[in-house]
Amino acid sequence: MGRDLKQHAGAALGLGTLVLLSSCSWVTDFVIANTSQSELSVSYLVNGKSCPEDNFIIVPARKDITDLEKDGAQWQKLTSKEYTCNENNFIVTTTLPPRTALLVARVATYTGSASYGNDNFKVLRLELKGSEGEMSLKGLQVLKAFKFESKALFVLHY
Q: What is the pLDDT of residues 18-73, one digit of tens each?
A: 444 445 788 899 999 999 999 999 999 998 788 988 667 889 999 999 999 887 78
Q: By C-alpha distance, which of 104, 110, 105 is closest to 27?
A: 110
State the virtual CA torsion across 47, 153, 114, 111 in degrees, nearest 10: -100
Please check whether residue 51 is in contact with residue 90, taking contact to mean a CB–CB distance below 8 angstroms.
yes
**What pLDDT digit, counting tens, does each position of 99-155 carry?**
999 999 988 877 776 666 556 678 999 999 999 999 999 988 999 999 999 989 999
Does the pTM surpass 0.75? The reply is yes
